[in-house]
């Protein structure tokens, strides 16, 4: 299922068009159907201010949700790199032949994880294959030599695989669709009330609030989309780890 929120530019364009349409519709209702009576203008201003305040609060809460998820993805990238680096060091405890095999697989795995963060579609399936090979390689050694030292290596490999699972879960933890729907409906209502409140038709005035809100929604969508847009988690820790282990 395609999520509109996964495409920040579409979010911006669609939001701007819909909100401006709502503001123009409100202005049209004021001019053609029923203008705001003078005695009701003060009460209407209170309703408009409350609606705009509610919209600002929802935007701020949604932005905070997006930022917290972005920070979580960054932290898990660092933890993933740490788990892989620790396991690479622990391969010193394996027999020479198995040590070479596991290290080679870990190098390839790090490169695949970097490609995944950079948006390569095939990287996820390749990572799953490498995970199966990594686990099989240490389990084979553990079965042949069931010692506490080898158990430590197996435990480290388990941490490597778990870290990828935590990362995937964090990438799937997005702003709920219901939150986007609440934000959109509040923005539409606020702009309709704003257009209805205008003393005279001024298309430039009617586009100011829709533009500001659209920019905010664009930024929220950018931060909340792991693979899309410009704002994404850069795998600096994994890149540094890759350079180190490839040099050994």
CB under 8 Å to 235, separation ≥6 — which residues? 77, 81, 113, 114, 117, 118
Residue 39 is given by DSSP the state G
Give the helix/strand (H/E) hosting 119.
Answer: none
Q: Which pLDDT score is estimated for 220?
A: 94
- The H or E element containing residue 201 is none
State residue 2's pLDDT score: 65
pLDDT higher for 75 or 32? 75
- Judging by beta carbons within 10 Å of its beta carbon (0-12, 13-18, 19+), is residue 138 exposed, middle or buried? buried
Write out pLDDT tens, residues 10-64.
Answer: 999 999 999 999 988 888 887 777 776 676 677 777 888 899 999 999 999 999 9
Report how far apart, in Å, the C-alpha atoms of 40 and of each of 83, 197, 201 are: 65, 11, 19
- Is residue 81 a contact partner of residue 216, using CB atoms and an 8 Å limit? no
37/140: higher pLDDT = 140
Q: What is the pLDDT of residues 176-212, one digit of tens each?
A: 999 999 999 999 999 988 887 766 656 677 788 899 9
pLDDT of residue 40: 67
pTM: 0.84
Q: Distance (Å, rounded) from C-alpha 12 to C-alpha 187?
A: 13
Calpha distance 147→83 (Å, rounded): 21
Dist CA 70 CA 94 (whole Å): 37
pLDDT tens digits, residue range 76-123? Answer: 999 999 999 999 999 888 888 888 899 999 999 999 999 888 876 555
Taking a C-beta distance cutoff of 8 angstroms, is the pair 206, 198 a contact?
yes
Judged against a pLDDT cut of 80, whether residue 215 lies above it is answered with: yes
């Amino acid at each position: 299922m395609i999520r509109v929120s996964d495409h920040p530019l579409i979010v911006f364009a669609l939001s701007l068009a819909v909100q401006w349409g709502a503001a123009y519709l409100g202005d049209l209702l004021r001019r053609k159907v029923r203008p705001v009576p003078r005695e009701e203008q003060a009460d209407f201003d209170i309703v408009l201010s409350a609606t705009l305040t509610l919209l600002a609060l929802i935007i701020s809460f949604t932005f905070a949700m997006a930022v917290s998820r972005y920070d979580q993805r960054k932290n898990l990238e660092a933890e993933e790199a740490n788990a892989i680096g620790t396991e690479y060091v622990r391969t010193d405890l394996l027999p020479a032949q198995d040590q070479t095999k596991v290290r080679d697989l870990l190098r390839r795995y790090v490169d695949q994880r970097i490609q995944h963060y950079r948006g390569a579609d095939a990287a996820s399936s390749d990572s799953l294959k490498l995970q199966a090979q990594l686990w099989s390689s240490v389990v084979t050694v553990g079965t042949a030599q069931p010692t506490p030292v080898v158990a430590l290596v197996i435990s480290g490999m388990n941490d490597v695989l778990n870290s990828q699972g935590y990362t995937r879960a964090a990438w799937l933890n997005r702003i709920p669709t219901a939150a986007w729907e609440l934000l959109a409906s509040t923005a539409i209502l606020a702009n309709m009330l704003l257009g209805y409140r205008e003393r005279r038709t001024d298309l430039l005035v009617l586009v100011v609030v829709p533009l500001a809100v659209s920019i905010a929604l664009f930024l929220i969508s950018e931060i909340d989309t792991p693979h899309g847009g410009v704002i994404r988690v850069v795998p600096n820790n994994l890149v540094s780890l890759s350079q180190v282990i490839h040099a050994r």
